[in-house]
C-alpha cells in the first residue's frame, strides 16, 4: 500500500485572478478545468497542461492581503518542444525570458519567465535523443 497515490494539484495564491489566469492560458497554453468558490470565500481556478494530469490551483483570497513572492521561493517546471520556438511565442506577447535560455552540451536546456505575481516558471527542453 502506498501512503499517497499521485500529485493532484499545486496551489498558488495571487492578487489579480483575471490577469494571472489569462497569463497561464495565453502564455503557457494551459486549459481551464473548473472554477469554484471555497467555503471560506476564496475564488479558485484550476488549470492544466494539455499532456498532464496534475492541476494548478490559482487562488484569489483578498482578505489575506497583497501577495508578495520572495525571489527564488518556488517555481513550476513545464516541458516545451523548443526553447527557441517558445521564446518567439512569448516575444509576440511582449514577454521576455527572465533567465536564459541555457543550453546543455548534451542537448536540451532550460529558461525562466516570471508569472504576474512573481512566481517563476521554468521551461525545459529535453535533449532530442531522450524523447523516444
| Span 24-45, pLDDT tens digits | 999 999 999 999 999 999 999 9
In this prediction, residue 73 carries a pLDDT of: 85
C-alpha cell at 72: 527564488
Mean pLDDT of the chain: 91
- The string of pLDDT tens digits covering residues 87-129 is 999 999 999 999 999 999 888 999 999 999 899 999 999 988 7
Reading the block at residue 117, the C-alpha cell is 505575481
pLDDT reported for residue 130:
63
Domains 1-62 and 73-132 share a fold: yes
- To which CATH superfamily is domain 73-132 assigned? 2,3-Dihydroxybiphenyl 1,2-Dioxygenase, domain 1 (3.10.180.10)
Can you give the pTM of this predicted structure?
Answer: 0.88
In the DSSP assignment, the letter for residue 39 is T
Instruction: Identify each DSSP E strand in 1-132 by its residue range.
Output: 9-14, 31-37, 43-48, 55-60, 75-80, 99-103, 109-114, 120-125
Q: How far apart are CA 98 and CA 77, in angstroms?
A: 14
Cell output for 40: 471560506
Domain residues of the chain, as ranges? Answer: 1-62, 73-132
pLDDT at 128: 80
Would you place residue 131 in the very low, low, confident or very high pLDDT band (cuts 50, 70, 90)? low
The CATH code that applies to domain 1-62 is 3.10.180.10
Amino acid at each position: 500500500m502506498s501512503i499517497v497515490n499521485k500529485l493532484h494539484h499545486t496551489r498558488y495564491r495571487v492578487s489579480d485572478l483575471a490577469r494571472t489566469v489569462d497569463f497561464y492560458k495565453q502564455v503557457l497554453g494551459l486549459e481551464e478545468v473548473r472554477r469554484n468558490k471555497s467555503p471560506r470565500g476564496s475564488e479558485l481556478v484550476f488549470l492544466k497542461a494539455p499532456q498532464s494530469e496534475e492541476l494548478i490551483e490559482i487562488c484569489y483570497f483578498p482578505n489575506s492581503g497583497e501577495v508578495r513572492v520572495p525571489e527564488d521561493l518556488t517555481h513550476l517546471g513545464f516541458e516545451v518542444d523548443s526553447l527557441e520556438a517558445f521564446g518567439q511565442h512569448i516575444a509576440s506577447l511582449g514577454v521576455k525570458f527572465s533567465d536564459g535560455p541555457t543550453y546543455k552540451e548534451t542537448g536540451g536546456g532550460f529558461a525562466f519567465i516570471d508569472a504576474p505575481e512573481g512566481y517563476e516558471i521554468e521551461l525545459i527542453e529535453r535533449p532530442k535523443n531522450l524523447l523516444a
